[in-house]
């Protein structure tokens, strides 16, 4: 009995001290002025995935894992009271709510949306700006020329522009958009299955730090630039990590080409830990062990210096 009481007291003391520790470290964290916040990490189909009754998604239905939203980054500027979102995902309504509730409250729902391409995980969230949902006027949406024409000339997206729910702004390859004195965004063309639009990645630059965002690309060698050199130029690189390795892909790789995490790790094997630390994997397919807690594959990659994006992480700019 005495032992039981001692154990209880010990456990209680530990809980209260760990709580105290958390509060102290949170209080010490300086408030960031400009930063990127991760709003989603899954591939277009999300997690759980349609039609999947296998172990990966079973972990959601049995309550072991929570839903993972589709890939998206928020760009927050507390100094100038502005916020932007990268990608209009099918989870966009809750991702915008996340920005509002946990980052910056303001009258405007969002100061701008940056689109990468016309695959379902990356633009279909625009539907929430329409008459059936938000129905407000003039939300700024930045898109490349073919992407812009695709939206203007195909229903239901065309209605968003004809009744002016959104205002489409044209981006140009390698041409920088100056958001304010502190923040700049530069789109650049990326090789990807361009059925309906071109595909871009983004460079997001702040006063102190710069990030690269390439959620979808065919294979690194199909790009005219060297991913290693591009990563070296920035502080953070959010990179396409759809599949961990070949084992996950049951269909022809030509249908869905992506660099495997294993290939990216191999490509960077002779680079310094400092360079590897910049790589933050994102855009995970439901089958990817990187989505699973306690995954050996993930922890081995982390030991080598690579990182994995998690919803709620903030990266100072
Ligand atoms: Zn995608
Ligand atoms: Zn699954
Ligand atoms: Zn895509």
Question: What is the arithmetic mean of pLDDT over 189-218?
Answer: 96
Span from the CA of 78 to the centroid of ligand 3 (angstroms)? 31
Closest ligand to residue 50's CA: 2
DSSP type of residue 304: T
Q: Rounded CA gap, 63 and 128, in Å?
A: 28
- How does pLDDT run across 57-88, given as a tens digit for each residue? 999 999 999 999 999 999 999 999 999 999 99
Span from the CA of 38 to the centroid of ligand 1 (angstroms)? 15
pTM > 0.75: yes or no: yes
Span from the CA of 303 to the centroid of ligand 2 (angstroms)? 26
The whole-number pLDDT of residue 141 equals 98
Any long-range contacts for 309-313 (C-beta under 8 Å, 24+ apart)?
Answer: 309/38, 309/41, 309/238, 309/280, 309/281, 309/282, 310/38, 310/41, 311/38, 311/39, 311/40, 311/41, 311/68, 311/69, 312/37, 312/38, 313/37, 313/38
Span from the CA of 114 to the centroid of ligand 2 (angstroms)? 28
């Amino acid at each position: 009995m005495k032992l039981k009481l001692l154990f209880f007291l010990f456990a209680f003391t530990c809980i209260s001290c760990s709580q105290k520790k958390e509060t102290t470290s949170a209080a010490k964290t300086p408030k960031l002025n400009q930063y990127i916040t991760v709003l989603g990490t899954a591939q277009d189909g999300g997690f759980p995935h349609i039609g999947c009754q296998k172990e990966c998604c079973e972990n959601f239905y049995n309550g072991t894992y929570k839903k993972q939203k589709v890939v998206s980054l928020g760009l927050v500027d507390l100094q100038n009271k502005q916020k932007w979102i990268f990608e209009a995902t099918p989870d966009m309504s809750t991702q915008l709510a996340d920005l509002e509730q946990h980052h910056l409250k303001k009258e405007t729902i969002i100061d701008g949306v940056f689109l990468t391409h016309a695959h379902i995980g990356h633009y279909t969230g625009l539907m929430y700006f329409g008459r059936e949902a938000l129905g407000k006027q003039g939300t700024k949406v930045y898109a490349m020329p073919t992407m812009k024409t695709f939206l203007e000339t195909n229903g239901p997206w065309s209605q968003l522009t004809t009744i002016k729910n959104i205002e489409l702004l044209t981006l140009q390859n390698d041409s920088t958009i100056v958001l304010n004195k502190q923040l700049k965004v530069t789109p650049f063309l990326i090789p990807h299955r361009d059925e309906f639009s071109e595909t871009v990645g983004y460079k997001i630059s702040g006063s102190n730090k710069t990030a690269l965002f390439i959620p979808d690309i065919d294979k690194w060698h199909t790009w005219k630039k060297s991913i290693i050199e591009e990563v070296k130029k920035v502080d953070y690189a959010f990179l396409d990590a759809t599949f961990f390795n070949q084992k996950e892909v049951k269909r022809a790789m030509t249908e869905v080409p992506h660099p495997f995490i294993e290939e990216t790790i191999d490509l960077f094997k002779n680079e310094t830990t400092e360079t590897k630390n910049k790589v933050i994997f994102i855009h995970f397919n439901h089958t990817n062990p990187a989505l699973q807690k306690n995954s050996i594959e993930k922890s081995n990659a982390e030991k080598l210096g690579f990182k994995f994006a998690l919803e709620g992480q903030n990266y100072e700019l």
